[in-house]
Amino acid sequence: MDGKITKVKLRNFVTYDYCEFTPGPNLNMIIGPNGTGKSSIVCGIALGLGGSTQTLGRAKDISDFIKHGAEKATIEITLFHQKKGKPSNITIQRTLKRNTNSTSWKIDGKPYNQKDVLSLIESFNIQIDNLCQFLPQDKVCEFAQMSSIELLNATLKAIGNKDLYTEYEELLKCQEQKNILQSNLENQEKILNKIKNQNEAIEREVAKYKERENILQNIRILEKQIPWGIYDKSREEYLEYRNKRNKQKKDIAEAEKKLLPLQEKKKEQEKKIERATQIENHLEKEYEECVKKYTELSKEIENLEEENNSIINNFLDFRENERELENKIKMHKRKMYELENSIEIKKKELIEKGIIDENGEELYNNNSSDNDTSTELGKIQWELGEKAQKLFEIDAEVRSIQNKEQDIRQQNFVYIEEIDRLRKQLSDLDNIRNQRLNLLERSHKPTFIAYQWLEKNRLMFKMHVYAPVLIEINPKNRECAAAVEAFTGSSLTTFVTQCKDDYDTFTNELIDKRRLKISVVMYENLSVNDFEVPIPKDELQDYGFDCYLIDLIQGPDPVKCALCKLNNIHAVPYAGRDIDAAPFDDDHRFKNYVINNVRYSKRAAYGMLSVRTQQLRDAKILFSNTDTKQKLKFENMILDNEKMKKKLELDMKELVQKESKLRTSYEKIRNEREAIKEKKKKLLDQKREYDRMKKQLDIVKIEYNSYSQNSSSYTEEKENFQRKINDNLSRREEKLENYTDYQKKAFELFNQKTTIIIDNLQDSALLSTTNEEIYNYQRFLNEMKEKYIKIDAEFKEVKNKAQSAYEEAKSSLEDLSDKEKRLVHEGFQNKTLDELQQALAEEKLKAEMINENNADIVKEYNERKAEIEHLKEETNTSKNSITEINDNMKEIEKTFIPKIHEVIQELDKKFSEAFDKIGCVGEIKLNENEEYKKWGIDIYVKFRDTEELQLLTGTRQSGGERSVSTILYLMTLQEFSKAPFRVVDEINQGMDSRNERLIHAQLVDAASQDGTSQYFLITPKLLPDLKYNSKMKVLCIYNGEWQMIENKHKVDKIDFRKYINKKKESLGHGSQHIHKKRR
């Protein structure tokens, strides 16, 4: 098997100048007297194969292993190794240097660092630090003292199943991560709940602060909205003048449009006159052309007829427009009448309600009208003022009450603190437990620290774990306290557990991890009645004793059982008075007893009985007095403070009731005030309706006047039409006559010329009339333009005013955010300037009624709120991580748990068989737990038929029994382990001869099998006639200070070969011996 040791060389190592030997491949028995250097060989193997000084349990520094007087030491170990089926041994050399306390390494003569050497050694599955493979002399006792957890860890390493051990380490790592995450999760949830509670405690203050901030923000917005309200009002006036200006401009345009037909008519008439003149001139020139004149007259008659038809059609259109205008005038007149009546009725209502005066002027914006309660609006204004004053008074009174309540709370807190302080002082005076804890802290600090840890972590234990005995018990009086303390003094700082799991947890946390030097015991299922007394109590009283010491102690039964187990106080008689002690001197049943505070102790030696007496000292730990006067003083002070606290609670209750009533009244008055404000709003809505009706009446009047003016012009136009018709008719008649005449008489051309001249005269008259009409209409148009100029000037003035209001309103938004600007624009829509000013006054009143809180509270609240969200995310992350770890562990457990159960079952089977061979019983059990770090291997042994199976510990079994159990466990591992060799130093010490022979025989059989590991068994002595096998190799050490050196003392060289041959002849066994010479 690779890794077996084939040669060992030591130079200047511990006791050796030089040593060299070649062990066999199976069992090697290294024998030599004490002090010859057997354990030094073990140390050499350990250090030479990368072991640390802590593994050996001897010296701490590496330089301590260099022989005295030398500067360095060398260890050289050759390991068996096959390469491609051929032997290729490896030699590892370690050099120890004194001056630097350092080490250098070589492999096959070439320098290497320690990491490479350890990696090579690990490849051979050599585990120097595993007690299951390498058990030096100073560590033999530690094997039985190994905890079940350590034993499981060492066993898994020794077996060499890397997959199984890797899975075990992975489970340990996962569980540790899970425990850390679980602990962190619990801490996070505690912190989260704490922060939530802190935020809930100040939510009311934060809400008030936010409410006041919102009100202040509303005030700021309203203050910015008022300039916009002013601008809105100016804009309405601007729009009104703009519409008026546009209407006037439109009327002018329409008037100019109506002037165009007259101008066209004038042009036509001028053309007509010019044409008639031309005809006249033509008639003068062509008088003779009679026929031509006839034709011209015929055309003129036709033209006159067409003109007549045109006049008639225009007249019909004129009549239709006239009728439509008359209807509009009638409709507007009726509408004016209805509006005037409605306005008058509404005016009377508003005057009665005090909203306007007789002249229609507003009264509700006049401050003096607020005191006038004769009108409905004045009464409403007065009621609003009264309600606001009452609300202000109630709020002031509530704030006063709250201030008083705060003062009472502060004073009450002072009284509570004072009462707690007095009670604590009273408790300290009367609390023996605290006195003893103080004494424990001064005299035995580790035990006090362990007690504090226990109080904080009691949930870790399945059953109750008792505090140190001095905390749990009380003697019945001062006299017996001295006796109890004298017999239990060494056990007063001992902790008591009631089950193995609690014992393991307690010792692991405090002794193993925290390295506290404390005392802890574990006794399961014990009762005080289980301890037999030397004689019954009634018989004891016949001797004059009062009782046993156990009867003088008050405390839990498990603690009393522990004292019986540790100090035998159930067997110590006690007498509180003087009695004759002589009869008990020869009574073997009593080894210790107490008579009148004198302790009697008996001891037998060399066939003689001696009795020792000792006066007991007063108890210093288990008894104390209380200062009665000081206690009474504290009680009276507590009573006085509680009376004052009770009075404050009554005052507080009265103030709370008064505050509740005031808040009810405040809410009622506030609701009434809102109802009154709603009533006022309805009244003001009536005023707005009145204004709207007046504006509508003005518009109707303007339209009516415009229509009336147009009506007068229609009358004149009608007369003109009549004249035109009459004139046209006359001219036609004349033309017809001339036409008849010219038709009859060609020579009447002169008369026709005359007719034409008359016609021209008529046309000139019509032209003159048309010019007069154009002049009159032009004058009307100029008046309208002058009116437009006036309206335009007023419009520009209003426009400038609105522009200024807009610029002022716009500049008020410069210091606002976009959101605030949006709120300003949305807020003043559909609201009058009066409503905005009223809202501003109300918000300012609200702000005055809310106390100004510290902004830091809100900052703390928001910071905690953000931290709450952060902690929620962290807790969710922790929970997810725990779930992932649980899933990973379940996957590993599917293979690990069946494997380890199989291994433990096989180990138990082999271990039981080994014990059965020596007539004893042994079992190996897997101690499982929810926590994998608490898993372990328990070894149970029984060496006598009368015993029960007992757990192997460092104290329960004898040294020989522990040695037997240890070597058999190591032999059991032989079949499972892949370790190339095992070293056991002086394991047979303490065994009886029978067990030593049986164990030796099993060891020889196990180590002599083919393919098994190499064994090194170191012992100073062996029994005669032990089993021997040819595969064994016995190495005898010949070394010491008085060893004779042949050359120096001129003595014959010892012939070991001759001695061995002679011994072989007598025993029939073979043995080998190596001479180790001191240089």
Same domain? For 14 and 127 the reply is yes
Mean pLDDT calculated for residue range 462-481: 87
Which residue reads 């009869």 in tokens? 583
- E runs forming strands in 782-858: none
Same domain? For 219 and 316 the reply is yes
Instruction: Give the residue, 395 or 742, on which the prediction is more confident.
Output: 395
Instruction: Give the residue, 453 or 971, on which the prediction is more confident.
Output: 453
* Residue 379 within any structural domain of the chain: no
Most confident of the ranges 283-287, 518-522, 592-596, 733-737: 518-522
- Residue 1049's pLDDT is 47
Predicted confidence (pLDDT) at residue 183 exceeds the cutoff of 70: yes
One-letter amino acid of 473? I
Predicted confidence (pLDDT) at residue 748 exceeds the cutoff of 70: no
Same domain? For 824 and 907 the reply is no
- Residue 1073's pLDDT is 39
- Residue 355's pLDDT is 74
- Residue 368's pLDDT is 46
Mean pLDDT calculated for residue range 354-369: 65
- Residue 500's pLDDT is 93
- Read off the DSSP letter of residue 947: S
Q: How many residues are given for the chain?
A: 1079
Instruction: Give the residue, 612 or 293, on which the prediction is more confident.
Output: 612
Q: Name the band, by pLDDT with cuts 50, 70 and 90, for residue 741.
A: low
Question: From CA 765, how far away is CA 584, in angstroms rounded?
Answer: 179
pLDDT tens digits along 654-667: 888 888 888 888 88
* Residue 992 within any structural domain of the chain: yes
Mean pLDDT calculated for residue range 557-582: 89
- Residue 523's pLDDT is 92
Show which of 781, 811, 828 is a domain's final residue. Answer: 828
Q: Name the band, by pLDDT with cuts 50, 70 and 90, for residue 468.
A: very high
Mean pLDDT calculated for residue range 963-992: 74
* Residue 701 within any structural domain of the chain: no
Which residue reads 């037999």 in tokens? 532
Choose the weakest-confidence range: 382-391, 504-513, 821-830.
821-830
Same domain? For 144 and 244 the reply is no
> What one-character-per-residue DSSP string does 17-77 give?
EEEEE---SSEEEEE--TTSSHHHHHHHHHHHTT--HHHHTS-SSGGGGBPTT-SEEEEEE
- Read off the DSSP letter of residue 83: E
- Residue 518's pLDDT is 92
Instruction: Give the residue, 819 or 1022, on which the prediction is more confident.
Output: 1022
Same domain? For 952 and 805 the reply is no
Question: From CA 652, how far away is CA 641, in angstroms rounded?
Answer: 16
Mean pLDDT calculated for residue range 545-552: 91
pLDDT tens digits along 230-266: 777 787 788 888 888 888 888 888 887 877 887 788 8
- Residue 358's pLDDT is 75
SS (H, E, C) 737-749: HHHHHHHHCCCCH
Mean pLDDT calculated for residue range 399-404: 86
* Residue 636 within any structural domain of the chain: no
Same domain? For 109 and 244 the reply is no
Instruction: Give the residue, 288 or 100, on which the prediction is more confident.
Output: 100
Same domain? For 139 and 10 the reply is yes
Predicted confidence (pLDDT) at residue 1069 exceeds the cutoff of 50: no
Same domain? For 148 and 250 the reply is no
pLDDT tens digits along 424-449: 776 765 577 777 888 888 889 999 99
pLDDT tens digits along 661-713: 888 888 888 888 888 888 777 777 777 787 888 788 788 888 778 777 766 66
Can you tell me whether residue 1022 is helix, strand or coil?
coil
Q: Is the dihedral of CA 835, 840, 845, 851 positive or negative?
A: positive
Predicted confidence (pLDDT) at residue 790 exceeds the cutoff of 60: yes
- Residue 868's pLDDT is 85
Q: What values do phi and psi take at 696, rounded to 5?
A: -65, -40
Crossing angle of helices 749-811 and 290-352, in 10° steps, is 30
Q: Which helix (H) or strand (E) holds 190?
A: helix 162-285
One-letter amino acid of 700? V
Predicted confidence (pLDDT) at residue 220 exceeds the cutoff of 80: no
Same domain? For 221 and 128 the reply is no
Predicted confidence (pLDDT) at residue 369 exceeds the cutoff of 50: no
* Residue 281 within any structural domain of the chain: yes
Choose the weakest-confidence range: 84-88, 98-102, 167-171.
84-88
Predicted confidence (pLDDT) at residue 561 exceeds the cutoff of 80: yes
* Residue 316 within any structural domain of the chain: yes
1008, 1006, 1010, 1003: which is closest to 1026 by C-alpha?
1003
Show which of 569, 597, 615 is a domain's final residue. Answer: 615
Q: Which helix (H) or strand (E) holds 941?
A: strand 936-942
Alpha helix segments (H runs only) across 139-161: 140-145, 148-159
Q: Which helix (H) or strand (E) holds 825?
A: helix 818-827
* Residue 21 within any structural domain of the chain: yes
Can you tell me whether residue 830 is helix, strand or coil?
coil
Mean pLDDT calculated for residue range 591-597: 88
pLDDT tens digits along 40-95: 888 888 888 888 877 776 677 888 889 888 889 999 999 988 877 777 888 999 99
pLDDT tens digits along 1035-1067: 888 776 666 554 444 445 666 677 777 777 776
Instruction: Give the residue, 603 or 667, on which the prediction is more confident.
Output: 667
Task: Answer whether 290's CB lies under 8 Å from 747's CB.
Answer: yes
Same domain? For 903 and 1031 the reply is yes
Mean pLDDT estimate for the chain? 79
pLDDT tens digits along 896-939: 888 888 888 888 888 888 888 888 899 999 888 888 888 998 88
Mean pLDDT calculated for residue range 606-613: 70
Q: Name the band, by pLDDT with cuts 50, 70 and 90, for residue 520.
A: very high
What domain count does the chain have? 3
List strands edge to edge, sheet with 598-605: 547-548, 573-575, 592-595, 598-605, 608-615
Question: From CA 580, how far away is CA 981, in angstroms rounded?
Answer: 69
Instruction: Give the residue, 185 or 223, on which the prediction is more confident.
Output: 185
> What one-character-per-residue DSSP string does 916-928 give?
HHTT-EEEEEEE-
- Residue 1070's pLDDT is 41
Residues with Cβ < 8 Å from 283, sequence gap 6 or more? 293, 749, 752, 753, 756
- Residue 231's pLDDT is 72
Choose the weakest-confidence range: 29-38, 96-105, 951-960.
951-960
Predicted confidence (pLDDT) at residue 516 exceeds the cutoff of 70: yes
Question: From CA 745, how far away is CA 1, in angstroms rounded?
Answer: 172
Task: Answer whether 882's CB lies under 8 Å from 178's CB.
Answer: yes
Predicted confidence (pLDDT) at residue 743 exceeds the cutoff of 70: no
Same domain? For 919 and 1045 the reply is yes
Same domain? For 908 and 1013 the reply is yes
- Residue 829's pLDDT is 62
CATH number of the domain that 33 lies in? 3.40.50.300
Show which of 570, 597, 615 is a domain's final residue. Answer: 615
- Residue 629's pLDDT is 56
Predicted confidence (pLDDT) at residue 137 exceeds the cutoff of 60: no
Range of the structural domain that residue 74 is part of = 5-152+898-1067
* Residue 691 within any structural domain of the chain: no
- Residue 1075's pLDDT is 36
Exposed, middle or buried, 270 (CB in 10 Å: 0-12/13-18/19+)? Answer: middle
